[in-house]
Amino acid sequence: MTDERRPLVLVADDDPDILSLVKLRLERSGYDVVSAGDGEQALETAKARTPDLALLDVMMPKLDGYEVTARLRQETATRHLPVILLTARVQESDIARGIEAGADDYVKKPFSTHELRDRVQAVLGR
């Protein structure tokens, strides 16, 4: 742990390019990032590292973003972990499903990384 602890953000997406893009942007903006390539890994990492925020892609192999969110809500350690869903699905029903699962916010793909950073800042209150 460094002297001035940077907030830790979990980023999960099965597209490696998106994953490193988000990682780069958030690191440049003063966050630490831990990444996951699928839903199961995201769930494990969330339990092991207790991040301050999770950015979850909706369409992921093994467990989708909705399911990961729902399971995070069931665990004591991650019950209050803020979740932002990244989604290319823009139907209202998709958004409603995310909120139902317990997500705090969602960002539509394609997103501008600046917009993403702003949302992260808003949720973390920085």
Partner 1 sequence: MAAAVADDRPYTTQYRVNHADGTIRHVVERGKAVLSGGRHKLDGAIFDVTEQRVAEAERLKLASIVESTQDSIISTDLNDVITSWNGGSTRIYGYDAAEVIGRSFSFLVPDELSDQRPSLLKQVLAGDAVRSLETRRRRRDGSLVDVLVSISPIRDSGERIVGFATIAQDISTRKQAEAERERLLHELEAQNERLRELDRLKDEFVALVSHELRTPLTSIRGYLELVLEEEDPLTDEQRQFLGVVERNAHRLLALVGDLLFLAQIEAGKLSLEVGAVDLAAIAAESVETARPLAEEKGITVTLATGPLALIAGDRARLAQLLDNLLSNGIKFTPVDGRVDVRVRGERGQAVIEVRDTGMGIPADEQEHLFERFFRTAKATEQAIPGTGLGLAISKAIVQAHGGRITVASSEDSGTTFRVSIPIRQLAPKPLEAEEVAS
**Can you give the binding site for partner 1, defined by CB under 8 A?**
15, 17-18, 21-22, 24-25, 88-92, 109-114
Q: How far is the CB of 37 from partner 1 (least distance, A)?
A: 14
Nearest CA to 19 among 5, 33, 3, 6? 33
In terms of CB distance, is 3 or 17 closer to partner 1?
17
Q: How far is the CB of 18 from partner 1 (least distance, A)?
A: 6
Q: How far is the CB of 112 from partner 1 (least distance, A)?
A: 7
Residue 79 CB neighbours (<10 A) = 10
- 53-57 and 32-36 as β-strands: parallel, antiparallel, unpaired? unpaired
How far is residue 18's CA from residue 23's CA, in Å, rounded to a whole number? 8
In terms of CB distance, is 72 or 84 closer to partner 1?
84
